[in-house]
Amino acid sequence: MNGYYPVMLKLQGIRCIVVGGGPIAERKVLGLLEAGADQVTVIALVFTPQLEELAHAGHIETEARAYASEDALAARLLFAATDQAELNRQIALDGEQAGIWVNRADEAEAGTFINPSVVRRGELVVTVSASGASPALSSRIREELAQRYGPEYIGITARLKELRERVKLTIGDRGLRREVLKLAAHEAPWQGEEDGDIDAWIKRLIAATDRRNT
């Protein structure tokens, strides 16, 4: 059975605590910052140079000390990423007792959430998870998806967003709205940035759906 439910979390204003300061903790922290997290605390005895730099630049807070069980009470999202299995187990337990989501980097099933591989293209976020079966497979598929959905998708997604906002205001008929939006998503990758006139595009799309339906 596949036991994970995928969601997209909004992390602005949410205290995220990462315990551990090695390369794995660093990867988790970078993922949080890319998602816009603005309250990230890292508790560890030793930090990677990049974590030190992020703290210096004010992007995260670091606390150079041993983890204490009370730390879990301050977090809403918790990561156990130390090299001490027994400590990671305790962190997961503390998190569950505090009623928050805990990621355990060394033993997936003992935590309550896991991280997928991620490709970010502006507002388009493509994620892959093998549910812990093979992180290497997720990473490989992420590379394939990054090739298939290149940086051009930043603009494509932004254009579709603008079109959708306009369509929601101007097309009252739900069926037509849905058809226009579907057709636009098919067409958008083939358009250049210079096809900037959204209203003209909407007119063409409506005409195309009329033709299809007659």
Ligand X SMILES: NC(=O)c1ccc[n+]([C@@H]2O[C@H](COP(=O)([O-])OP(=O)(O)OC[C@H]3O[C@@H](n4cnc5c(N)ncnc54)[C@H](O)[C@@H]3O)[C@@H](O)[C@H]2O)c1
| 120-146 per-residue burial string, b: 16 or more CB within 10 A, e: under 16 | ebeeeebebbbeeeeeeebeebbeebb
Q: Does 92 bind ligand X (CB under 6 A)?
A: no
Binding mask 117-156 for ligand PQ2 (x = CB under 6 A): x-----------xxxxxxxx-xx--x--------------
* Between 75 and 167, CB nearer to ligand PQ2: 75
Stretch that binds ligand PQ2, among 39-47, 106-114, 170-178, 183-191 (CB under 6 A): 106-114
Chain residues 20-59 in contact with ligand X, contact rule CB under 6 A: 20-25, 43-46
**Is 14:35 a contact under the CB 8 Å cutoff?**
no
At its nearest, how many Å lie between ligand PQ2 and the CB of residue 197? 38
Query: Using CB atoms, what's the residue nearest to ligand X?
Result: 22
* Cα–Cα distance measured from residue 146 to residue 131, given in angstroms and rounded to the nearest whole number: 20
* Between 138 and 209, CB nearer to ligand X: 138
Write a three-state SS string for 15-58: CEEEECCCHHHHHHHHHHHHCCCCCEEEEECCCCHHHHHHHHCC
Per CB under 6 A, the list member of 83, 109, 152, 162 interacting with ligand X is 83
Q: Are strands 61-64 and 16-19 parallel, antiparallel or unpaired?
A: unpaired
* Cα–Cα distance measured from residue 198 to residue 40, given in angstroms and rounded to the nearest whole number: 39
* Residue from 50, 48, 56, 110 nearest 80 by CA: 110
* Between 147 and 213, CB nearer to ligand PQ2: 147
CB under 5 to 8 A by kind: which of ligand PQ2, ligand X, none does 132 bind? ligand PQ2
Chain residues 27-66 in contact with ligand PQ2, contact rule CB under 6 A: 27-28, 31
Q: Which residues bind ligand X (CB under 6 A)?
A: 19-25, 43-46, 66-67, 81-84, 87, 105-106, 135
